[in-house]
Amino acid sequence: MSGRGGRELALHLLYQMEVRGESIDQVLPEALVFFQPTPEDRAFAVRLVEYALETMGFTSDLLEKHARNWDPNRFALIDSCILRLAIAELAKVPQSPMKLVINEAIELAKSYSTVKSGGFVNGVLDPIARIVRGESHPSKGEAT
């Protein structure tokens, strides 16, 4: 597992891939020059992006079902990338603590998106994280 630098690089890579319509191999060289990551952060970032791509269908289903009052098709692209990476990490990197993943996603949203994005990412990600990690609790109004 790696830290914030790896997650920040992963966000940059995934976002650039989406905006440019390019592969990770095409956007990685420029990102490496800009971020100058440690070898550990680089490996972690590439792995997170690969996981996000692998789990795209799973992530889309979760967002459709559990992003209450929000249409995933209307998410800001940067917020969508943050959520996709966090959900992929929760699903594929069990040694990453759930609270750490959520907090890192919130901090990335605060740094790279709008003033309200941290709260938005938290509100969407928290219930999904519990489901992904098997800690789902019934919502208010659901039977226990």
Hey, what domains does the chain have and what are their CATH numbers?
4-132 (1.10.940.10)
pLDDT digits (tens, 9 = 90+) for 28-53: 999 999 999 999 999 999 999 999 99
Q: Is 137 buried (19+), middle (13-18) or exposed (0-12) by CB count in 10 A? A: exposed
* Closest alpha carbon to 49 in 20, 6, 19: 6
Q: In which region does residue 21 sit, left (phi positive, over 0), alpha (psi from -120 to 50) or beta (all else)?
A: left
Task: Report phi then psi at 95, rounded to 5.
Answer: -75, -10
Is there a contact between 50 and 15 (Cβ–Cβ < 8 Å)? no
Total H helices, total E strands in the chain = 7, 0
pTM (predicted TM-score): 0.89
pLDDT digits (tens, 9 = 90+) for 88-133: 999 999 999 999 999 999 999 999 999 899 999 999 999 999 999 9
